[in-house]
Structure 1
Amino acid sequence: MKIVVAPDKFKGSLSAAHACAAIIEGIRRVTKDAEIVGIPMADGGEGTVEALVAATGGQLRQVKVCGPLGEEVEATYGILGIQRGKESSSVKTAVLEMAAAAGLPLVAPERRNPLQTTTFGVGQVILDGLEVGCRDFVIGIGGSATNDCGCGMAQALGVKFFDKSGKAITTPMTGARMGQAAGLDCGNIDPRINECSFVVACDVENPLLGPTGASYIYSPQKGADGQKVAILETNMTHIIGLIEAEVGKKVRDIPGAGAAGGLGAGMMAFLNGKLEKGIDIVMRCCRFAERISGGQLIITGEGRIDDSTVYGKTIAGIAREALKQSIPVIALAGSVAGEVGRIHDIGVSAVLPICSGPMGLAEAMRNGSELLSRAAEQALRAALIQLDK
């Protein structure tokens, strides 16, 4: 019997890799003989690096970079164990979350101001990946503290920005400095960029500008008041005009351009990045369809299952592929809310909460591993009734 274990993280309690281990422990309480394929999962957001490194047998790498406010931070990114063959060589794939270098949690609440934050450190992480031989990049862009259209990132990679006097801007580009730039030159961007592919995990469809764009929708979450939002929108409108003229293509209206304070637009403009749904990228990187082939059961799970689960997140992606291969799916959750019937409709056979009785959130999170193991054990025992027929 082949059982696939493919959970996302249980946020605040278990990483995807730890959740995977806990479910496998529960399965082993039922059967010692089953073939178990563990695939820690993510949806392109927080936890993607750790999940993909674990799922592919890769490695983590730390690098010191410029943080969102210019202070040095240590960012962690991953190098996948599964590589793309390219004639006589193989191409390393780096996976990174922009939040590791420019994320909102790196800025204390009282210091949050997207006029002053930068994605410069994101570019430095990419440079480190280039140095160790990576040429394929998978980049998650959720959780940003920034609203600089990716200009800081581009600057770290060699793009030059100039002020009205024609002098190069040497300090990291920020939301405020977008408005000070009078021109830019991409001629000095690291030439290795042309050898690379950049796939960007993006699950929002906001354009760069306007009432549903980066500044109006997301900068208030990063510390901008109404006056700052207006300045950011003006600066963003100004800088994207300069960028599009320099690179020779229009990106401002492409769905996802407004993600991560315009980093989506910057990735497309400066790096020729391709925006895709995070779960699709993760499943491709870990060869999900291939690895579940021949399975009799998939057990997945995450911290909370609710009405939003059906919209392109981890469990929805797993269920979609499982349906193609006629493999039943059981989903375990720290909490279940909303109409679970909709989750059944996308191919999940059963949704089961892991809490065995009344308990507070702190207790449940503290005992997450054992609760998950017990739930997996009982889920498998129930599934075997049908599978053994």
Structure 2
Amino acid sequence: MGSASFEGFGLRVVVASDKFKGTLTSAEVAEAVGTGVRRVCPDATVISVPVADGGDGTLSAAVAAGYTLVPVDASGPTGEPVRSGYARSGHTAVVELADVSGLVRLPGGVPAPLTATTYGTGELIAAALDAGCTRIVLGIGGSASTDGGRGLIEALSGNNSSLRDEKVPDRRLAALRRRLDGVQIVVACDVDNPLTGRRGAAAVYGPQKGATPQQVAQLDAALGKWADVVARETGADLRDTPGAGAAGGVGFAALALLGAELRPGIELVLEMVRFREKLAGADLVVTGEGALDEQTLHGKAVAGVAAASNGVPVVAVCGVNRLSAEQLRGIGVAAAYALTDVEPDVRRCIAEPRPLLEELGERLAVEHLTMTRREKGIA
């Protein structure tokens, strides 16, 4: 499209987008949108604030916010060694389950619904604690396992032997209590599923991890036994607590054995990247994710950014938009710009998203920043 140029704008645009899964990182989305905006408004200041909802991309968002990446060799979901790490700022560590125990770490992408473990996530938390961190922010989206967080607990309690169904040895609980004394653990959790049952971790999310109906029943029974064990040892049964079924039951283990607090992932990430500070003087916020759909309305990055934008106008960019204008307005988004608006061929949108996203940056600048220019009386 042709680019009308409005020099001397002095406008400020904050781009706080999630990744476009499988195509662009959050930072790449911001770069492409910024390129398009500056074609229209050469003097506009474009601030990149990569965000995530607590799943994959959380570690990258932390590093982009100034945290230091600390590499750690850990166990992948099927036991193979992987190079992962945590992000650190002061005494706070950010751990992303997806990067070590997630679907993206399955060798060859082959699901392992009955055997995938969160042991590596526990190794990362242990490494952060051993390095002196006293606050752990744990993003748990994208899990490959349905182990109820058992692997994580095994790693944290310092024993490689599997926890038996009948008992959690007292020495394990004592070791956990010593290790977590004075430590705050906050878990990014965006679901309210219980651990077991029709809405439990196995029934709802097991099929997404490759579980057959028979395996779902097997996993649900195992989670029930695990919950029985933990209830006997701790004196509290938290299997029905909202969020206990998150990440294959990691939510349950975090609540019952780590004393964790569960919070919406996007809220945690926006705090971590100091989003509200970046809003100062902003004329427009551009948020986004790969697909705008019903899930967007329930705690995903776009809705979270819009809710936190403190009255600054918000527009969204995406690969495909399945929401109505009314639904978008309901979460505080004035308009959505989709790659498929520019290029109906989804294959090209996936293969070459950057130039299309740049064009969307131009469009939204013309349609929103020119109006702001007039309202502010900028010549």
Distance (whole Å) between structure 2 residues aligned to residue 132 and residue 64 of structure 1: 15
Aligned to 1:327: 312
Query: What is the 5 A alignment of 1:277-292?
Result: 277-292=264-279
Aligned AA for 1:278?
Answer: G
Name which of 236, 256, 272 aligns with 1:269. Answer: 256
Aligned to 1:218: 205
For residues 355 and 241 of structure 2, what CA distance do their matches in structure 1 show?
Answer: 45
Give the gaps of 5 or more residues in structure 1: 81-90, 161-169
Alignment partner of 1:14 is 2:24: yes
State the match for 2:54 in structure 1: 44
Indicate the RMSD between aligned Cα atoms, in angstroms.
Answer: 2.3
Change (3 A) 1:70 1:368: same
1:283-326 Cα deviation digits (max 9, x unpaired):
1212222321332111222222234322221111121122xx32
One-letter code of the match for 2:174? G
Residue 3 of structure 2 corresponds to: none
What is the 5 A alignment of 1:129-140?
A: 129-140=128-139
Q: Deviations over 1:340-369 (max 9, x none)?
A: 321023221121223564453332233222
Q: Secondary structure at the match of 1:241?
A: helix
Which amino acid is 1:73 matched to?
V
Once the two structures are aligned, what percentage of the paired residues are identical? Answer: 38
Partner of 1:100: 99
Q: Give the partner amino acid of 1:71.
A: E
Q: What residue is the counterpart of 1:75 in the other structure?
A: 84
Q: Distance in 2 between matches of 1:130 and 1:65?
A: 15
Question: After the TM superposition, which segments of 4 or more aligned residues of structure 1 sit over 4 Å from their partners?
Answer: 108-111
Shift in alpha-carbon separation, 1:10–1:112, aligned structure 2, 3 A: closer
Aligned pairs for 1:1-389 within 5 A: 1-54=11-64, 56-80=65-89, 91-108=90-107, 112-158=111-157, 170-173=160-163, 178-179=164-165, 181-185=166-170, 186-189=173-176, 191-322=178-309, 325-355=310-340, 357-387=342-372, 388-389=374-375
- Output the TM-score relative to the length of structure 2: 0.87
8 Å Cα contact 2:306-2:333 kept in structure 1: yes
The alignment partner of 1:52 has SS state of helix
Distance 1:159 1:151, change over 3 A: farther
1:93–1:135: 8 Å Cα contact kept in structure 2? yes
How many Å apart are 1:333 and its aligned residue? Answer: 1.7
What's the CA shift for 1:101? 2.1
How many residues are matched?
362
Mapped partners of 2:169, 2:216: distance in 1: 24
Amino acid at match of 1:292: L
Alpha-carbon offset, residue 336 of structure 1: 1.6
Shift of 1:122: 0.9
| Secondary structure, counterpart of 2:40 in structure 1 | coil
Contact kept? 2:284, 2:312, Cα under 8 Å: yes
User: 1:110–1:18: structure 2 CA closer, same or farther, 3 Å change rule?
Assistant: closer
- Structure 1 residue 111: Cα displacement: 5.8
SS at match of 1:57: coil
- Structure-1 separation of matches of 2:360 and 2:176: 52
Residue type at the aligned position of 1:365 = I
Residue aligning to 1:165: none
Q: Structure 2: how far apart are the matches of 1:381 and 1:248?
A: 61
User: 1:219-267, CA deviations, whole angstroms, 9 ceiling, x for partnerless residues?
Assistant: 2333333443333333222221221232333321110101122110001
Is 1:307–1:340's contact at 8 Å kept on the other side of the alignment?
no
TM-score, normalization: structure 1? 0.85
Whole-Å Cα distance in 2 between the matches of residues 320 and 32 of structure 1?
A: 29
The separation in 2 between residues aligned to 1:26 and 1:358, in whole angstroms, is 16
CA contact (8 A) 2:288 2:302 kept: yes
- The amino acid of 1:237's aligned partner reads G
Pair 1:237–1:18, CA change in 2 (3 A): same
Q: 1:40 to 1:248 in 2, by over 3 A?
A: same
Question: What is the CA distance between 1:148 and its match in structure 2?
Answer: 1.9
What is the SS of the residue equivalent to 1:187? helix
C-alpha separation in 1, matches of 2:48 and 2:342: 28
Give the SS at the match of 2:176.
coil
Can you list the C-alpha shifts for 1:112-148, whole angstroms capped at 9, x where unaligned?
A: 3433222111110111112333222121212222222
Q: Distance in 2 between matches of 1:66 and 1:38?
A: 33
Q: Give the distance between the partners of 1:306 and 1:371, measured in 2 at CA.
A: 20
